[in-house]
Amino acid sequence: MSPFEFITIFCSLILGLALTHIFGAVSDLYEIRKRVKTYWLNSLWVVTVIMWAIFTWWGLWSLSIDRIEWTYAQYWFLVMNLASIYFFTTLVLPKATDEGIIDLETHYYSVHKAFFSIVAFSLFSSAVVNHTLFGEPMIGPMTIMPCIVGCAAIGAVFTDSKSYHKFIGVFMFIMFIAFQLTDNTVISYTL
């Protein structure tokens, strides 16, 4: 087993659980859809969180190239970053209940402080991961951009302004689309 395979088994498990959780939550809420009051911003975050987890999983492939040595600190930062993705994934949708109306707008604003605290941590820790594992310069697009977006997430922790939350939801969605479109990772396999 290569170091990459050893390291990424646990990482894949964390991201797989995050995706399983969100897909299950969407499915559960769909089953009781007559009692669910939807909210477009919450739905946008569901899509963003799914993209985030999938894009992170895709990005792990870059660790297979030319990395023959790992330190525990590097691994710890990577696992903490992935764990944060799992945690905010669990907050984005409420649990389906047996009775009563589930208002996704009410849920969004009831968890936004914890959700955006974890999002900010994820973004700041991804800057550290990008620097320590991927060799990105400390001052470069792959370290500065997550920090800028992380600061915007901190703003969302401290404000209840619906305008700000709508702005940051759309802003982060567009940022993730841009990150995905600029990714040039190619996975190839030779027999």
Dump the DSSP string for 92-103. SSPPP-SSS-EE
- Distance, CA of 19 to CA of 117 (rounded, Å): 20
Give residue 60's pLDDT band: very low, low, confident or very high (50, 70, 90).
Answer: confident
Query: Domain segments of the chain: what residues?
Result: 3-182
Beta-carbon contacts of residue 35 (< 8 Å; ≥ 6 apart) = 99, 100, 101, 102
The region of weakest confidence among 28-32, 82-86, 96-100, 125-129 is 96-100
* pLDDT of res. 68: 67
Confidence check: pLDDT of 69 > 80: no
Mean pLDDT of 48-58: 93
Mean pLDDT of 112-127: 95
Mean pLDDT of 49-72: 84
* pLDDT of res. 142: 76
- Distance, CA of 15 to CA of 11 (rounded, Å): 6
* pLDDT of res. 67: 62
Instruction: For the chain, give the mean pLDDT.
Output: 90
Mean pLDDT of 125-150: 85
